[in-house]
Structure 1
Amino acid sequence: GSFGVPFVKYWIHNGFVDINNEKMSKSLGNFTMIKEVLADYSPEVIRMFLLSKHYRSPIDYSENSMREVSVALDRIYGFLERLDKAGISADAAGGEHGPLWADIVEALNDDFNSAKAMAEVFDAVKKGNKLLDDANDAPGESDRKVLAGIYADIRSASEILGIFMISAADYFAAKKDRAMADQDVDSAMIDALIVERANARKSKNFARADEIRDQLQAMKIVLEDGPQGTTWRIE
């Protein structure tokens, strides 16, 4: 390979990317530059958008489809964040594959059906979230083993698909930074409102506390109350 490193492991001829059901072309002037998309979305959203269809199929780019993929990726990282907070790691699987791996391998062996592989990941995330819900985020030993296996499988899939590559904390921090730059969000103002809300709740002024939550929600700021206090993220 060039420069002493392998060039590529796989070469796949993929379908064309359309924009809003129109062929992307200079004459139509409908090119969407990658740097413009990256200003609003994580690189992983773009990869997941491309992987959400079979590689031979044409892919239709639209703002709506990117938003849908972004929400879906948030759901996966949200699940991984829940595992992190519950003290469950991929390493806890002890090098063993979990219940998801055989289905992922089968999908990718079927003419690199990345869309089916992604569907398997979402199915596992749904089941994993239910386990955590039922256990109030404090699962017992047998459930922890299942969840560690799912985590390990998602991490293994990430090495092939090139998504879910970073920690959940870093993913959500980067998302917050992009949204703050885009919306000119003042983090000091948000932190001050959170303190005011906490004080309102202490003095049983629940109407004011709810008003602050609603104000932040209108700015697409989601509050998460936990034992260590209240954290926030941008929807």
Structure 2
Amino acid sequence: MEEVLEQLIKETSSNKHSHIKQVCQEASDLLESQTGLLRSPPHELREICLKALQLALETRISKLVTLATSGFYKLLRDTQFHSGYEEDDETTWLPSQLLAAVQSLPLHTEDNQVELLKVLLNMSCVPGIILSGQIVTQIVGVCGLAYGRGGAPLRTAAQSAASQAISHLVKQLREESCEQENILQKKLGKDAEEKIGEDENEEEESEYIAPAYDEIVPVINLIAEKLVEANKHDAA
């Protein structure tokens, strides 16, 4: 990431891009200061670095867009930007921050849109990345808009990014539900299961498993809504 920021600083030396250069320098200085116990939370590191990359991306200048895209990949690969856990506020999660940074995606050339969708695809492949139903609906929404605008390469990239995000969420929820079931079994114990009535047992189990699957509801609703819209369009 440091190399990308250095290149951006060089490429934005003119007065026209002084603000971008300043943000890149602030990001570079913050990364350089991460030593020993004096480390910023990953979401703060991501915030300043993604702001720099976002500003470069939004110039739509070919070289700056290429550097910004490269920076997104480096951020996804670098563990210093990854959290062992995420805050309650989803806007500080890596996927939400990355989505905010690429919000200019529709304004770019089709080739650049494909590359940015590949970034979203890769994000959903990174081990340990946490998604929520709300975040996945945002990803699917972005991909849906791109799918309806471009040619075959853009449609393929959009479909792949959306499918991977949904698959990642389903896998994540399956793992969470298995973990919740294990907690339940340990809590009840073999002997306790024999003594507790079936209805009571089922009610307690639902308290552990249902919250995980609640996350998929907004995704299903969005997909159903889009299918209804598509059917109406075809009928017209």
TM-score, L = length of structure 1: 0.28
| Greater strand share, structure number | 1
| Greater helix share, structure number | 2
Higher relative contact order (CA 8 A, sep 6+): 1
